[in-house]
Structure 1
Amino acid sequence: MKQVPFLLKLLMAVSLVAAIGSSMIWFNRQHKLIKMSEQLEAENDLNKRTDLAQGFLANNSWLDKNVQKGLYVIIAQNYSQLGQVPEMAQAFKAALEIDPRDHNLLNNLAYELAKNKTELDAAAAYSQRSMELAREEFKTAPWDMSKKRWEIAKKQTIGNYLDTYGWIFYQKGEFPKALKQLTEAFNYIPEPTIEHHLSMAYYQTGQLDSALNHLADCLAGQVEEPQKAKTDFETVYLARYKSQRDMEDLLAKARNKKIEQEIKADSASASQIVGRPAPEFSLPGLDGTIHKLSDHRGKVVALDFWATWCQPCKMGLPLVDKAFLSSQGKEVLFFAVNLEGTDKKDMVRSFWDQKGYGFPVLLGGMMGNGIDKIYQVTGIPTTFVIDKNGIIRYRHIGYRQNMDLLLIKEIEELLKQ
């Protein structure tokens, strides 16, 4: 064996020590980031949460640009909820200094300014820039995204940005321009909050029947400001009919129409997977235990696909946990299938332990490239109920206020079979 010269040995040793030191620094910083996330998640007081985020920025110069940007966004969102508009705008602008091409940040700042009827000319400029950057980004689909998923993302993004731009015109009193932009936005994505904005543009341009129909429809969905939308509906109805007679009938018709549409849409999309064998999987839990679906044949299995960044998921998990607790002692298993990638395991474990949910987590890979693909999951939360023979019998997409009751009823029916 050829001997290694002493100087080379020394250099190798120094390099090894440096590498070990760098690794230790990296792990320490990752640990600090997890602790920061936990502290922010646990703090419910908006002022204290803002102070925490500002302290993290001031006392940790090693934070990378993306983390800094994320903290500024948290600060901006907190100030928005507190009604401190100048401070909110300042925090958003600080985030934009880090990443001036972040079209989502530009749109969010523009929308917040529009909501608060302040700096409307600046808001219009931010909004226009956000659309320019978004259209540039969505010219071609990325290699790691299907064309269908890319088209959906494009429509949602452009539609939301057009809504912001139209709402700025509305707040400036330029109602015909607002109507044009909001109509285009609604054609991209017929979403309740956009429909609320569109209805008010119809109202301000004298088209009361269109305004009423759209207001009733948006109230049947999850509109951003339900009380404001209800007040607007009453105002427009009174302007149209000079009384509030039969007003509730119009709202009831809209609600019934919405329910029928959801049932029809869910049945159509679910027909491709409900009633068929559930795809096999072999996934690790947080403790490393591998879970295979086929090992649980003879039991009813509920799978809830989720992520820590998904607010509707976090709203729905306590309801799924209620259904889990009600099924204790029965031939039923619940799994929370996380879609954030195995590298987020420690963060997911921390979140789960803090919440204290009783059913286990499975690591389902990164959303878009994980187990969600073979289960045809297009959005989260999505919950499946699989019968004792391994057949998918029910699927629920999105947050539902009565999810616990739905799952309990469905599971009881399957246990009887």
Structure 2
Amino acid sequence: MYKKWIIVLVIIVLGTAALGGYLKKEEPKKDPVVESENDDEKDQVIEENGVFVGDKAYDFTLLDKEGNEIKLSDLKGKVVFLNFFTTWSGACNQEMPHIQEIYEKYQEKNIVVLAVNVLAAEKKDAKGVNDFLDEKGYTFPILYDVDGEISVKYKVRTYPTTYIIDEEGIIKEAVTQSMDKKTMLEKIENVLNK
């Protein structure tokens, strides 16, 4: 008999909780990462303050491999391919050869490729990252986000994350997965032709 009362009590509690949740029916929280309109590419658009597609890109100053300061706003008038990466990410390693090809293709044009290594998330120091890049033969510009502050501002949650910023400093594309060369070319050309 005692077991029956416990079962009835559990059913009442669960039913009440379910009914309470139904009556309360809150609006579900919107996930800040939503699928792109283009289902074929399965890209993701990051939609949070400062990094909405259509927003002005957050300005920053970072050091490159040679110790030169690079300021994003100084690149106004050029399209910027801004990629956040780590050396340990398999997806980053998969797309880096394509970034090198993109860099070589657009080097003489009005497009700047900037790969930002997030040292705060790295398993190597800057020298280790430089050795890795040299070993692979990558010559595209590398910037170092030493403390991770810029990747936080850009809401980087996965590696790689790429933004394509137009000549006016407006974010036109945001991708949170690795891309092949064809996809990179399409996205850059879309920004150039807008």
Tell me the TM-score normalised to structure 1 length: 0.34
Alignment of 1:298 with 2:50, yes or no, is no
**Structure 2 unaligned runs (5+)?**
1-38
Q: Give the match's secondary structure for 1:334.
A: strand
Q: Give the match's secondary structure for 1:395.
A: strand
Q: 2:19 is matched with which residue?
A: none
Distance 1:325 1:290, change over 3 A: same
| Cα deviation, residue 360, structure 1 | 0.9
| Cα deviation, residue 262, structure 1 | 4.1
- AA in 2 matched with 1:327: Y
Tell me how far apart the structure 2 counterparts of residues 270 and 262 of structure 1 sit (CA, whole Å): 16
- AA in 1 matched with 2:134: D
- Taking the TM superposition and a 5 Å limit, the aligned residue runs for 1:12-411 are 259=39, 262=42, 266-267=44-45, 269-270=46-47, 273-341=52-120, 344-366=125-147, 369-400=148-179, 402=180, 404-411=181-188
1:323·1:405 contact (CA, 8 Å) conserved in 2?
no
| Cα deviation, residue 329, structure 1 | 1.5
1:339·1:370 contact (CA, 8 Å) conserved in 2?
no
**Structure 1 unaligned runs (5+)?**
1-258
- AA in 1 matched with 2:133: W
Q: Percent identity?
A: 32
Distance 1:405 1:260, change over 3 A: closer
2:76·2:168 contact (CA, 8 Å) conserved in 1?
yes
1:302·1:385 contact (CA, 8 Å) conserved in 2?
yes
String of CA shifts for 1:162-219, please: whole Å, max 9, x gaps: xxxxxxxxxxxxxxxxxxxxxxxxxxxxxxxxxxxxxxxxxxxxxxxxxxxxxxxxxx
Q: Give the match's secondary structure for 1:277.
A: coil
Distance 1:330 1:260, change over 3 A: closer
Higher RCO (C-alpha under 8 Å, 6+ residues apart): 2
| Cα deviation, residue 271, structure 1 | 6.7
Distance 1:260 1:334, change over 3 A: closer
Distance 1:353 1:294, change over 3 A: same
| Cα deviation, residue 316, structure 1 | 1.1
Tell me how far apart the structure 2 counterparts of residues 385 and 362 of structure 1 sit (CA, whole Å): 16
Q: Where has structure 1 moved over 2 Å in runs of 4 or more?
A: 259-263, 269-272, 412-417
1:301·1:387 contact (CA, 8 Å) conserved in 2?
yes
String of CA shifts for 1:365-409, please: whole Å, max 9, x gaps: 24xx42111111111111110000000100111223x2x212212
1:335·1:362 contact (CA, 8 Å) conserved in 2?
yes
Query: Which structure: greater strand fraction?
Result: 2
Count of matched residue pairs? 152
